[in-house]
Chains A and B, each alone.
Chain A
Amino acid sequence: MEWVIDTHGLSKSFKRVEALKSLNLRVQKNSIFGFLGPNGAGKTTTIKLLLDLIRPTAGSASVFGMDTVKDSVAIRARIGYLPQEPHYYEYMSARQILNFTAHFFFKGPQAEIDQRVAETLDLVGLEDKADRPIKGFSGGERQRLGIAQAQVNYPDLLILDEPAASLDPMGRRDVLEVMDRLRKYTTIFYCTHILDDVQRVSDTVAILNHGELVAFGPIEELLAGGEGVAYEVKLKGQTDSVHQLVGSQPWVTGIQSKSTNGLTSWTVSVSNPEAAENELFRLLAADQQVIVTHYHVKEYELEDVFLRIVEGGQHGH
C-alpha cells in the first residue's frame, strides 16, 4: 500500500490548549480523503502541520515519504493547497495570480506557462473574468480561483480546506466533479462540513473531535457504523409469533418495533450479515399470518454517523 500522508502521534498545542492529540493517520495514494470534524476539532491545524506552516509539539508526519519539517519545500513542490479563507494580492488579476503561482513551480517559455494558466482558468470557469482585478471577486469566484491556484502545478496531493464553501449548488456540483475526475492523477485530502459531498465523492473518511481522531476508515465501513448491519422491515398482520421466531435466531441482536395504522415496522439488528441475508426474509415469508410489505438493508447517512460519533464521543477507529 502506498501512503501519501502518514502521521505518527502528531500533536500540537497552542499555549495550554491541545489542538491536536497524537494523530495517527494514513492517506492512500489516489484516494479522496474526507477529513471531517466540528469547528475547532483540529482539521486546519493538521493541514498547517502538513504544510510546515506550524511545527508539531510532538510526533511526526511524512508526505510522499518525506518529513514535513525537514523536507517541507520538496513536499510543497508537489502539493496544491486551497486555504479555508483564501487571500491573494488584491492588485493582481486572476491570470496574474495563476502566473505568479505557476512560476514557483515551473520555468521555461512564458508561452507555455501562459497556456497552463489558460487551461487552469478554463478548468474552474474563470476565463471570462481572468483579467479583472480580484478585488471585485465574489466569494464563489475567489473559491474557484483558490482551486485554480491549487491545481496549476498539477499536484500529486491536493489539500483543500472547505473547497465547496461559498459556492452555489451548481458551483458545488462542479467542484465535486472536478475532484472526482482528478482522482486518477492526484490524491485529494479535504476538509468540509458538507457531509453530503463527502458521501458522494470520498472513499475514505476520518472524523476528528476535540483534537482526537474518533473515526477513520473506508466510507462503506463507516456508514455500516458501529451499530452494525440492520434490516428495515414492514409487516401487515399478526406479528407476535414471527417476532418470537426471529428474535430467537442467534444472529439477531435486537428488534425495534413500532406499529402505525395496522402496519408494524421493525428494525432488525444482526451480528452476522451473511446469515441474516440468507435466512431473515425466508423466516418472514414463511409465516402465514403476516405479509411483508417492505424489506431492505438499513442505509446509514454520513450525517447520522457523524452526529452519533461526535455527539456521543465514540472512538470508532
Chain B
Amino acid sequence: MVTKERDATGNSLMKLVTGEGWRRGLDNLLRGELEHWFGTRTWWTQILIWALSVNLIYLMTSLSARDDPNFESIMIFNLFLGLAGPIGTCIVMQMAVVGETRAGTAAWILSKPVSRPAFILSKLIGNAIGLAVTMVLAQGVIAYLITVLVLGVALPVPGFLAGLGVQMANIFFYMTMTLMFGAIFDHPAPVIGIPMAFLFVQQFLVSLAPALAKILPWSLVMPLNNSTELPISTALMLGEPVSSYLPLYGTLALSALFVVIALWVFQRQEL
C-alpha cells in the first residue's frame, strides 16, 4: 500500500455535490440501476426469458390460427403478458429493497450522502425502465412482428402502443406493491408472496364485488367473467372502443398510494 499526500477536498477540477433534499444521490443511484439493467447481461436474459414465456406461446397460437386470424390471438398475448409480467415483476422487485436491506448493501448506500426517498425512487424508476424495455416494449415488438408476419394483420401502431402502455400500468401496480411490502417487511416471503397471491385472488374478488373491477388492475389485461367486454389492453390494440378507463385510473392511483407508503415506511426503517 502507498499513501499519497493530498488535501482534504482533493482535485481542483472536481466539485463537491451539494444539497440535502430528497433528490440527493438519486442521479447516481439511477445510473447504477440502469447500469445493472443495461450494462450487464440482465437486459438480454430478461428479453429472452419473457420471449420464451409469452411470445413463444403467442407464436404457437398464431401459427395454429393463421388461416382464420381473429382478436383472440392478440388477447392471448395480452393474457400471458398480463399474468407472467406481474409474476416476473414480483421476482425482480422483491430483491430491490428487502434483498438489499438483508444483504447490507442498503446500509452501505445510506452511509453515503443519499436521501432515503432517493434510494426508493431509484429502485422504482430504474426497475420500471428496465421492465418497460425488456418485458413490455421488446415483447410488444416481437408480438407485433408475429402478428404481421404470421397472421398477416397490421394492427394500428398507436393503438398497439397504447395497449402496451396499459400492460405497463398493470406491471407498475405490482412493482409498487412489491416495493411497498419490501419497505414494510424484512423477509422476502411476504414481499413476494402477498402480491402474487393478490394477482390470483383478484379474479375472485372482482367476481364477488364487481365494483372492485373499477379500481383493480384485473380488467386492464384480463376479460371479466360473464362479460363480453374486451380487456382494455386488447381493445386498444385492436382499435376497439373501451367502455371505461376507470380501472386504469384506479390502478394508477393505487400504485401512487403504494409508492407514498413505501417512502413513508422506508424513511423510518432501521438498517
Residues of A within 8 A of B (CB): 48, 51, 53-55, 71, 73-74, 76-77, 79, 81, 83, 85-89, 91, 100-101, 103-109, 112-113, 115-116, 119, 122-125, 154, 156, 174-175, 177-178, 181-182, 185-186
Contacts and interface: CB of A to CB of B under 8 A. Distances in A.
B113 A76 contact: yes
A51 B111 contact: yes
B211 interface: no
Contacts, number: 117
Contact of A53 (B40, B268, B271): B271
B1 A174 contact: yes
B271 A54 contact: yes
27 contacts: A48-B271, A53-B271, A54-B270, A73-B113, A73-B114, A76-B113, A77-B17, A79-B111, A89-B105, A91-B40, A101-B112, A103-B31, A105-B17, A106-B14, A106-B17, A107-B15, A108-B14, A108-B15, A116-B11, A116-B14, A122-B4, A125-B1, A154-B7, A156-B8, A175-B1, A177-B3, A178-B3
Q: Decide if the interface of chain B is mainly helix, strand, loop or mixed.
A: loop
Interface of B: 1-4, 6-11, 13-17, 20, 24-25, 28, 31-32, 36, 40, 103-105, 107-108, 110-115, 268, 270-271
A88 B15 contact: no
B110 A53 contact: yes
Contacts of A123: 1-4
B3 A104 contact: no
B14 A109 contact: yes
B270 A112 contact: no
A71 to B, nearest CB: 8
Nearest to B31: A103
Nearest to B22: A73
B10 A104 contact: no
A73 B110 CA distance: 9
A88 B108 contact: yes
A88 B105 contact: yes
B28 A104 contact: yes
A80 to B, nearest CB: 9
- Going nearest first, the 9 A-B pairs with the smallest beta carbon separation are A87-B104, A108-B14, A77-B113, A81-B111, A174-B1, A54-B270, A104-B112, A103-B28, A181-B3
A297 B209 CA distance: 87
B10 A116 contact: yes
B192 to A, nearest CB: 21
B11 A112 contact: yes
Contacts of A81: 111
Contact of A55 (B1, B8, B20, B270): B270
A100 B28 contact: yes
Given A105-B113, A182-B3, A86 B108 contact: yes
Contacts of B31: 103
Contact of A83 (B10, B16, B111, B270): B111
A91 to B, nearest CB: 5
Contacts of A124: 1
B214 to A, nearest CB: 41
B112 A76 contact: yes
Contacts of A83: 104, 107-108, 111
Nearest to B110: A53
A74 B8 contact: no
Nearest to B8: A154
A124 B3 CA distance: 8
Contacts of A156: 8
B1 A119 contact: no
Contact of A76 (B9, B104, B111, B270): B111
A115 B4 CA distance: 13
B88 to A, nearest CB: 19
Contact of B1 (A89, A104, A178): A178
Nearest to B112: A104
Contacts of A103: 17, 28, 31
Nearest to B118: A73
Given A101-B112, A104-B112, A115-B11, 6 more contacts: A73-B20, A87-B104, A104-B113, A112-B11, A123-B4, A182-B3
B149 to A, nearest CB: 36
Contacts of B13: 108-109, 112
